[in-house]
Homo-oligomer: A and B are copies of this chain.
């Protein structure tokens, strides 16, 4: 597997748009992000350009316009972030981190049931 590019805080917002819906033109990305951020369109263009350079996005031509789409897989990027986060903050020990997460989280009854199921699953491994 290829190594994932490093995606900055701001760039994440752009990636999340394009993971949820692609391929979009730059302007469509701008529209998706309006409301979520106060960025000028030019700023979003810059972020897209950087993501292209990093290899996190690709584009294809649609007439004269470009349509952008992810070149990296969301779950992989998310996983990398998750691991980096745990390493940084908890030095790699998962349990206290998970406990804090769970306590902090706003979970529905179904969420809780499902998480318990996952834990029981793990128990059986």
Q: How far is the CA of A122 from the CA of B106 in the complex (A)?
A: 9
**A111 close to chain B: CB less than 8 A:** yes
Interface residues contributed by chain A, number (CB under 8 Å): 39
**A91 close to chain B: CB less than 8 A:** yes
Interface SS majority for chain A? helix
Per-residue CB contact flags for chain A residues 85-125 toward chain B (1 = under 8 Å, else 0) read: 10011110011011111111111110110111011101100
Determine if A111 and B85 form an interchain contact, defined as CB atoms under 8 angstroms apart. Answer: no
Given A88-B12, A95-B114, A107-B95, verify A82-B102 contact (CB < 8 Å): no
Closest 4 CB pairs of A and B: A94-B105, A95-B111, A85-B85, A12-B88
